[in-house]
Amino acid sequence: MREIVVLGSTGSIGVQALEIIEANPSKFRIVGLSAGRKNPELLMAQAKKFNVPIVGSMAPAAPVNGIQVIDGDNSSVEIAALPCDIVLNGITGSIGLAPTLSALAVGNKVALANKESLVAGGDLVMKYGSDRIIPVDSEHSAIFQALLAGKLSDVKRLILTASGGPFRDRSDLSNVSVADALNHPTWSMGEVVTINSATLLNKGLEIIEAHYLFGLAYENIEAVIHPQSVVHSLVEFIDGSTIAQASPPNMKGPIAYALSYPERLNKACAPIDWSKSHNWEFSPIDNERYPAIELAKRCGQLGSGLPAVYNAANEVAVAAFLAAQIKFTDIIDIVESVVQSFGSNTPTTIRDLSDVSGIEQSARSKAAELVKEIA
């Protein structure tokens, strides 16, 4: 039986992970949970349901008999360090970096759904080795699985798929509402991830993440539009063969695979119905319409703290859009402006978490200034 810690247990990834664990009681036992500020009541209800001995809550949580509660901003960091077989990091945003490092520092393996850990602090995370990280993002899980077909040295390129979000067929984006942007056609995700999918900035984050996870140069990592979201990513080998991983758009498959790897859980998600006809489309991404991807590659290639700047500026811009302070089209404009404002002034060496925090704070301040100017 594997002992599991779930970080971000009240979010989309966390809730689905608990459903998988509940369906497989002989395979998993939860030894720790953590969550943010939004729903401490649900966190305690989860802890009670799964007999979890210790939880971390950023918000004050009502005590429950038999459950130890660690509260405060660093609660997830402490929970991540609990002795266990694997830590599932389902936290959204760069606040997930510190718990990732905490888990790795004590020898825990990490099922990583928090892409910002690698975007903001990839060099710090990869010091612990890629063999300690199992990717949970559907795209990286797909690549992880497809790479089992051959040697990394024989890979020509990685191809991530993008749904194109809700606006792939909409020409005018000037009056996009928050409700419009949250109406994703194929995936059910949290607000921030859904907005990132609409701008395709999430694909930029995922390209940076793929670079760190699999060690390929940015020129060997691409993305294509695939509206059906069934083929999650592809690996092209030097002999011309391409291996794809396909399954219906559901995160339970990647979550279950990460928790049970190298085994597979029976019926983790519904399979593709091959008794029906399917049409799967693939098309190139229009970089003028979706500039976030090329911007992400540029940040990654220049390195230093620019990926952290890219991500931090986006987090501020997305929050401002969700609060109706800026337009949808302002999001990428703000991110690009912040990145350009740093340029060669970004520190070239990331030594520790405080370096990342300092870079992010500077980027957030600059992004906040731009939000105020626009608002």
Q: Which of the pair, 189 or 146, is modelled with greater confidence?
A: 146
Which of the following CATH numbers is that of domain 303-375: 3.40.50.880, 1.10.1740.10, 3.40.50.300, 3.30.390.50?
A: 1.10.1740.10
Question: What is the rounded CA–CA span in Å between residue 330 and residue 318?
Answer: 9
* 167 — pLDDT class (breaks 50, 70, 90): confident
Do 13 and 88 meet the contact criterion of CB atoms below 8 Å apart?
Answer: yes
Q: Where in the chain is the domain with CATH 1.10.1740.10?
A: 303-375
CATH superfamily of 2-135: NAD(P)-binding Rossmann-like Domain (3.40.50.720)
Cis omega (within 30 of 0) on the bond before 262?
yes
* pLDDT value at 143 more than 70: yes
Summarize the confidence of residues 137-156 as an average pLDDT: 97
* 347 — pLDDT class (breaks 50, 70, 90): low
Do 57 and 40 meet the contact criterion of CB atoms below 8 Å apart?
Answer: yes
**Phi and psi of 13, rounded to 5°?**
-65, -45
Summarize the confidence of residues 69-88 as an average pLDDT: 96
Q: Where in the chain is the domain with CATH 3.40.50.720?
A: 2-135
pTM value is 0.93
pLDDT digits over 237-278, tens only?
999 999 999 999 999 999 999 999 999 999 899 899 999 999
In sequence order, the 6+-apart residues with CB closer than 8 A to the CB of 358 are: 347
pLDDT digits over 207-228, tens only?
999 999 999 999 999 999 999 9
